[in-house]
Amino acid sequence: MQLGLIGLPQSGKTTVFNALTGANLPLNMSTGRVEVHTAVVKVPDPRVDALAERFGSRKRTYATVTYADVAGLSGKASGELPGALRNILQQMDAFVHVVRAFPNPNVPHPLGHVAPQRDVELLEQELLLHDLMTVERRLERLKEERQKGARPKEVIAREEALFQRLHQALSQDIPLRAIELSADEARLLRGFGLLTRKPMLLLLNLDDEGEPPEIVLPHPQRTKVAWLRGRLEMELAQMDPEDAAYFREEFGLTETGQARLIRLSYELLDRITFYTVGEKEARAWSLPRGSTALDAAAAIHTDMAKGFIRAEVIPFDELMRLGDWATARSQGKIRLEGKDYVIQDGDVLLIRFAG
Ligand SMILES: Nc1nc2c(ncn2[C@@H]2O[C@H](COP(=O)(O)OP(=O)(O)O)[C@@H](O)[C@H]2O)c(=O)[nH]1
Ligand SMILES: [Mg+2]
């Protein structure tokens, strides 16, 4: 799962990238070219830790997300994103929009002064315009297809109705992430790389002190707002842990900003997490919401899916309350589920399969 850090030049994207990933990319490197740097990050998960401690697991494996530091958005909202940038943005599963909220006289804002609400709207305009053009092109194509009779009439009509709905929304500055779509419609749109369809985390990048500004969202669906003291967190991420802990206390930062944000961005992806646990390993697995026991088995190993017999399932909280698998089983708390069982977030699974 890939999260793209986007934002105006000098908003602190690379700083935030370094803070989140522990990387050490150079700052102030806006070359005007399209550039991407990626890093894979573990999603901190107290459930993995609790399971590992309870079961004495030797290894802990967390879910991961990939962050991509994407340079190149101008904030000019001209509508024509450079092709290379468009390709990169279309591949992302969600965006983290780094919004500059730090005053720094040494770092000029590309638009003259710091105004977070304006920057949020400006970048959204850029994404909206991109999608509007994509949708218009598609509507043109569908019209041609209708005239040629290339595909069955009903199929084209259904697609046209959907794209018209999208067009109407986009023309009113409504991002597509705020629109209700059926599963079929969502599937149909998947290949079009519509940027406002992707979930969005607005990350206010604050200075070492000061409160986060208020952001007004006319369409808050599938959007989260958070803040980070970007430069401070980057410096802490690059210190040795003891010194970092001392400074954290000084600045009143309890949980690491890094951990908090990684969790939040994982939640944005609307995935569910299930777990497997044994003496060897306690492990988190990430799946799209709505996945079945068979999908879970396939995620672990193809042989498990092929020879699937059943899944033994217990919710994390219940397992922790009862203490261990044997107790849970003797009390009849382990459910036996078939292939089609829809996995719930927090389920602990044991897959029985014929190997
Ligand atoms: N004072 C302050 N400066 C910051 C903060 N975050 C970034 N900067 C500075 O802003 C400049 C641009 O940061 P950079 O991460 O390269 O921005 P990018 O162009 O969005 O990747 C650098 O000089 C950073 O040190 C912050 O939270 N506070
Ligand atoms: Mg940068």
Flag whether 75 is in a domain.
Answer: no
Which of the 8 DSSP states describes residue 66? Answer: E
Flag whether 307 is in a domain.
Answer: yes
Q: Which domain holds residue 335?
A: 290-353
Pocket of ligand 1 contains residue 72 by CB under 6 Å: no
Residue length of the chain:
355
Write out the H or E segment, with its range, that includes residue 204.
strand 200-205
CATH code of the domain covering residue 297: 3.10.20.30
The 3-state DSSP class for residue 285 equals strand
Q: Which ligand is nearest to the CA of 34?
A: 2
CA distance 75 to 119: 8
pTM for the whole structure: 0.91
Pocket of ligand 1 contains residue 30 by CB under 6 Å: yes
Q: 54 or 250: which carries more pLDDT confidence?
A: 54
Flag whether 109 is in a domain.
Answer: no
Confidence of residue 249 (pLDDT cuts 50, 70, 90): confident
Pocket of ligand 1 contains residue 207 by CB under 6 Å: yes
To which residue do tokens 């995620």 refer? 299
Flag whether 241 is in a domain.
Answer: no
Flag whether 16 is in a domain.
Answer: no
Pocket of ligand 1 contains residue 122 by CB under 6 Å: no
Q: How far is the CA of 93 from the centre of ligand 1 (A)?
A: 25
Calculate what percentage of the chain has a pLDDT beyond 90.
78
Whether 31 shows a pLDDT value over 70: the answer reads no
For the chain, first and last CA: distance in Å?
A: 30
Exposure on the CB side of residue 162, measured as CA atoms within 13 A: 20
Average pLDDT in the 95-105 region? 94
Flag whether 249 is in a domain.
Answer: no
pLDDT, position 247: 86
Average pLDDT in the 34-49 region? 92
CA distance 81 to 34: 11
Which atom of ligand 1 lies nearest, measured to the CA of 7? 20
- Bridge pairing between strands 2-6 and 223-228: unpaired
Flag whether 123 is in a domain.
Answer: no
Flag whether 313 is in a domain.
Answer: yes
Confidence of residue 104 (pLDDT cuts 50, 70, 90): confident
Average pLDDT in the 71-87 region? 75
Q: Which ligand is nearest to the CA of 10?
A: 1
To which residue do tokens 């002064």 refer? 113
State how many domains the chain has. 1
Whether 76 shows a pLDDT value over 80: the answer reads no
Phi, psi of 222 (to 5 degrees): 50, 35
Average pLDDT in the 79-100 region? 90
Whether 34 shows a pLDDT value over 90: the answer reads no
Residue of 25, 104, 204 best suited for mutating to test ligand 1, as the one with most atoms within 8 Å of CB: 104
Pocket of ligand 1 contains residue 286 by CB under 6 Å: no
Please give the mean pLDDT across all residues of the chain: 93
Pocket of ligand 1 contains residue 125 by CB under 6 Å: no
pLDDT, position 68: 96
